[in-house]
Chain A
Amino acid sequence: MATIKTIAIIGASGNMGSSIAISLAKAPYRLLLFGKEEKKLRSVFKEIKLINKLVNAEVIGCAADASWEADIIIAAVPFAAEKELAEKIKQVATGKIVISISNPLNDTYTGLVTNADTSAAEELQNFLPHSKVIKAFNTTFAGDFSQPVIDGKTVDAFIAGNDEEALQTVSDVVRAAGFNPIKAGALAVSRTLENMQALLIQLSIKNNYNWVAGWKILHN
């Protein structure tokens, strides 16, 4: 029996954070939830308990404390809030996996605010030089988590990062959340992944996918 890993979800009261938390309710992890909207956080916690009465989960009142206790930290915050979060958790995130889920979109969703030679994930890695930043959950809409099988196919979820062991660990988390994990490559591949989601958002608006849509690689 393997030691249970603890996942801190920072931003668990947000759209993405709450969806990730709920999708992991039955997974073999200990979940620590932190979020700014207390009421929403309580209702997310209640929902998790409803899904799995025996869930090993807890609401924690401080992002740094939750991260200190965690093995894996999910930064479920918007791109603009990542720097501030990084400063809060930097001291306790050394050597730990930090998952970057954000897409640095501009206000009109027509493109990214990051330069072409970087990505939100790489910037987070710069803020947290001693952590293992992994890109994940950025190519999936919050709505996909409650139905990760669309049109009969399990949605692919791409992962990028520079540490092989960390990639495998996050791959397991992604699978536990219901998606089909695909290791896309080094952290710099996040530039492509973040642009892929920008495209999916643009197409969702244009074609009315109703925010339940995802990527699937068809292959033999």
Chain B
Amino acid sequence: MYEILIENIFKKIVLNNDEQQLLKTFFIPKKLRKKQCLLQEGDVSKYLAFVEKGILRSYTVDEKGGEHIAEFAFEGWWIGDQFSFLTGEPSTYNIDALEDCELLLLTKQAEEQMLEKIPKMERFFRLLLQNHLIATQGRLVSSLSNSAEEKYKQLVNACPTIPQRVPQHMLASFLGITPETLSRLRKQISQRK
């Protein structure tokens, strides 16, 4: 239940056995079924979720009811509305499960307690936030300049199984293109191989 989390943490820091056992006591193990939601727009994001199994997406809904996917999170990734989580302000995002998921949830309070009891985790979260910042800025730049093809390749590179696991229209929404354009794009990429 905690294997991928521990593995993920060990990429950045090393915890001894006692610390690993203690670490587990701060996370809420939560199963989420496909289509169930973790966060709804207007609610405060109470949790940062670590994905042990499954895929989730975060998205916004425009005035016409159109969904715009901001992020996917799969095994080994964290998801949550950081802004809402940190400020306590209502979230503008929705997060739901695209597959049956096994999550580990961290509340603000549990996070504070964990950082106090396992100071090494400060470093882990600092590095995590740094990466998040880099990814967010990178995404901003790529959404301005990169072609949809580059963005698609980046996504598949990060999670090779994602084209089989996520419906095409959602991938297209994430890339900001129509499903037809995505279909053409995929054909082009596969022909070049």
Contact = CB atoms under 8 A, between A and B. Distances in A.
Contacts of A96: 28
Interface stretch (B32-40, B59-67, B118-126): B32-40
A217 interface: no
Contacts of B1: 91-92
A110 interface: no
A205 B30 CA distance: 43
A61 interface: no
A130 B25 contact: yes
Q: Is the interface of A mostly helix, strand, loop or mixed?
A: loop
A54 interface: no
A1 B28 contact: no
Interface in B100-128: 105, 107, 110
B55 to A, nearest CB: 18
A94 B25 contact: yes
A95 B110 contact: yes
Contact of B31 (A2, A69, A95): A69
A94 B29 CA distance: 7
B37 A68 contact: no
Interface string A68-85: 110100000000000000
Interface residues of B, number: 20
A71 B105 CA distance: 11
Interface in A79-134: 91-92, 94-96, 130
B40 A1 contact: yes
A1 B25 contact: no
Range of interface residues on A (Cβ < 8 Å): 10 to 19
B160 interface: no
Given A2-B40, A2-B43, A95-B107, A68 B31 contact: yes
B167 interface: no
Given A68-B29, A68-B31, A69-B30, A94 B39 contact: no
A94 B42 contact: no
Contacts of B29: 68, 91-92, 94
A178 B110 CA distance: 32
Contacts of A208: none
B162 to A, nearest CB: 25
B74 interface: no
A3 interface: yes
A71 B103 CA distance: 13
Contacts of B68: none
A2 B29 CA distance: 20
B72 interface: no
Contacts of A3: 37-40, 43
Interface string B13-46: 0000000000011111111110001111011000
Nearest to A58: B33
Closest 7 CB pairs of A and B: A95-B28, A69-B31, A130-B25, A68-B31, A92-B29, A3-B40, A1-B40
16 contacts: A3-B38, A3-B39, A3-B40, A68-B30, A69-B30, A69-B31, A69-B33, A91-B1, A92-B1, A94-B25, A94-B29, A95-B27, A95-B28, A95-B110, A96-B28, A130-B25
Given A3-B38, A65-B31, 6 more contacts: A1-B40, A3-B39, A68-B31, A71-B30, A94-B27, A95-B105
